[in-house]
């Protein structure tokens, strides 16, 4: 375990250095690449902190899907454009910003270094009720049982973001297909990857959802992998982006939250409370919710990456 402290120090330094690079980079493209690397370093840090579920989510969402959105954006914003000199802050603004940001950092550092004994924890309570749920992974238990309202609202936030992005479409393109991702060139390598990777990726995604009940994994991480496979197929032009106004697309987007809400409201009638599961049925209900959520998450993430409808971009 002698490598441990050195590894921790290296990861912490690397994450800080990458953050500085992202903030100070002169070109947006370099900043975006730095941000993706920053996400991957952070997911290693999460592993070191013993939070494997968070590490998976950080790698899939914080680095992967966000990276896809940012790279697509930076390409459209004309990649290698230098910073406009006129828009930069003056020396005094910079000095004040450094001072105030440093003050916030110092305050947080003081908080971190001040000892709390005993440290507050809910781990024993979370562990105590797990056998009743029939779920081995405490985080899945928290996300889908103890604090399932959080998870439900998180899905609603995803839907709101999607509605926001769709509403940015131009009038003529309303409800049409989004522009396909990627450069638009037919590329042999991309076509091969688009044919070979999705079968493997779909299996891996479903596996991560399935083991999420007892091991690190879950609906969101699995859904992100499925979404990535869909995006890959779209980039290779093996499939067309969907017509977002179609009822099937709307249903695919909404089915997860609808199932979640339906089971939630059924909780009023059976065990007597919103989102509470009847005794003995917690595990099957959690699985039903996870499957529906995974499907919706994959579709919503893919559509968020695709962006608003565009006209004249498809053949």
Partner 1 sequence: MSDAALYGLCSAVLVGVGLYGTIVQPQPLQKILAFNIVGSGTFLLFGVIARRGAAADMGGDPVPQAMVITGLVVAFSATALAVALLLRLHDEAGRADDAPTPPATDDETSGC
Check if the beta carbon of residue 209 is closer than 8 Å to that of residue 291.
Answer: yes
**What letter does residue 178 receive in the DSSP assignment?**
B
CB of 188 to partner 1, least distance (A): 28
Taking residue 130's Cβ as centre, other Cβ atoms within 10 Å add up to: 17
Looking at the Cβ atoms of 84 and 269, the one nearer to partner 1 is: 84
**What letter does residue 309 receive in the DSSP assignment?**
B
121 binds partner 1 (CB under 8 A): yes
Q: Minimal CA–CA distance to 181: which of 224, 140, 240?
A: 240
Binding to partner 1 (CB under 8 A): which residues in 128-187? 128, 138-139, 141-143, 146-147, 150-151, 154, 157-158, 160-161, 164-165, 168
Looking at the Cβ atoms of 16 and 195, the one nearer to partner 1 is: 16
Residue 155, CA distances (Å) to 25, 40, 139 in order: 34, 24, 17
Looking at the Cβ atoms of 80 and 279, the one nearer to partner 1 is: 80
CB of 53 to partner 1, least distance (A): 6
Binding to partner 1 (CB under 8 A): which residues in 233-292? none
CB of 172 to partner 1, least distance (A): 13
Mask of contacts with partner 1, 32-61, x by CB under 8 A? x--x--xx--x--xx-xxxx-xx--xx--x
Looking at the Cβ atoms of 31 and 243, the one nearer to partner 1 is: 31
Per CB under 8 A, which region of 24-32, 188-196, 264-272, 276-284 contacts partner 1? 24-32
Looking at the Cβ atoms of 87 and 247, the one nearer to partner 1 is: 87
Check if the beta carbon of residue 201 is closer than 8 Å to that of residue 228.
Answer: yes
192 binds partner 1 (CB under 8 A): no
The Cα–Cα gap between 314 and 284 comes to 42
127 binds partner 1 (CB under 8 A): yes
The Cα–Cα gap between 77 and 74 comes to 5
Check if the beta carbon of residue 219 is closer than 8 Å to that of residue 286.
Answer: no
Looking at the Cβ atoms of 159 and 266, the one nearer to partner 1 is: 159
The tokens describing 302, both together, are 């893919």
Check if the beta carbon of residue 239 is closer than 8 Å to that of residue 116.
Answer: no
Check if the beta carbon of residue 296 is closer than 8 Å to that of residue 254.
Answer: yes
How many chain residues bind partner 1 (CB under 8 A)? 100
The Cα–Cα gap between 307 and 161 comes to 10
Binding to partner 1 (CB under 8 A): which residues in 205-224? 218, 220
Per CB under 8 A, which region of 28-36, 205-213, 235-243, 247-255 contacts partner 1? 28-36
Q: Which listed residue (2, 92, 120, 188) binds partner 1 by CB under 8 A?
A: 120
The alpha carbon dihedral of 199, 203, 204, 208 has a sign of positive
Looking at the Cβ atoms of 75 and 186, the one nearer to partner 1 is: 75
Binding to partner 1 (CB under 8 A): which residues in 77-116? 77-89, 93-94, 97-98, 100-102, 104-106, 108-109, 112-113, 116
Check if the beta carbon of residue 265 is closer than 8 Å to that of residue 274.
Answer: yes
The tokens describing 254, both together, are 């909404």
CB of 192 to partner 1, least distance (A): 29
Looking at the Cβ atoms of 90 and 280, the one nearer to partner 1 is: 90
Check if the beta carbon of residue 216 is closer than 8 Å to that of residue 56.
Answer: yes
């Amino acid at each position: 375990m002698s490598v441990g402290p050195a590894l921790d120090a290296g990861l912490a330094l690397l994450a800080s250095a990458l953050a500085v690079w992202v903030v100070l980079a002169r070109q947006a493209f370099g900043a975006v690449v730095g941000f993706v690397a920053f996400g991957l370093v952070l997911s290693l840090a999460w592993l070191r902190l013993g939070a494997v579920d968070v590490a998976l989510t950080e790698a899939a969402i914080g680095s992967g899907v966000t990276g896809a959105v940012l790279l697509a954006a930076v390409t459209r914003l004309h990649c290698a454009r230098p910073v406009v000199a006129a828009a930069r802050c003056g020396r005094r603004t910079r000095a004040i910003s450094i001072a105030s940001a440093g003050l916030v950092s110092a305050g947080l550092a003081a908080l971190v270094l001040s000892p709390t004994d005993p440290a507050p924890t809910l781990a024993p309570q979370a562990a105590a009720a797990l056998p009743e749920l029939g779920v081995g992974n405490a985080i899945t238990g928290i996300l889908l049982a103890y604090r399932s309202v959080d998870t439900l609202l998180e899905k609603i936030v995803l839907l709101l973001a999607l509605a926001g992005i769709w509403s940015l479409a131009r009038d003529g393109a309303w409800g049409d297909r989004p522009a396909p991702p990627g450069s638009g060139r037919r590329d042999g390598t991309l076509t091969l990857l688009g044919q070979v990777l999705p079968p493997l990726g779909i299996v891996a995604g479903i596996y991560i959802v399935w083991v999420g009940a007892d091991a690190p994994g879950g609906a969101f991480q699995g859904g992100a992998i499925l979404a990535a496979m869909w995006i890959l197929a779209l980039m290779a032009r093996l499939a067309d982006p969907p017509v977002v106004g179609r009822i099937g697309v709307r249903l695919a987007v909404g089915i997860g939250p609808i199932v979640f809400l339906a089971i939630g409201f059924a909780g009023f009638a059976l065990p007597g409370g919103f989102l509470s599961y009847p005794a003995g049925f917690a595990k099957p209900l959690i699985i039903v919710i996870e499957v529906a959520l995974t499907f919706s998450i994959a579709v919503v993430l893919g559509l968020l990456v695709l962006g608003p409808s565009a006209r004249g971009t498809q053949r």
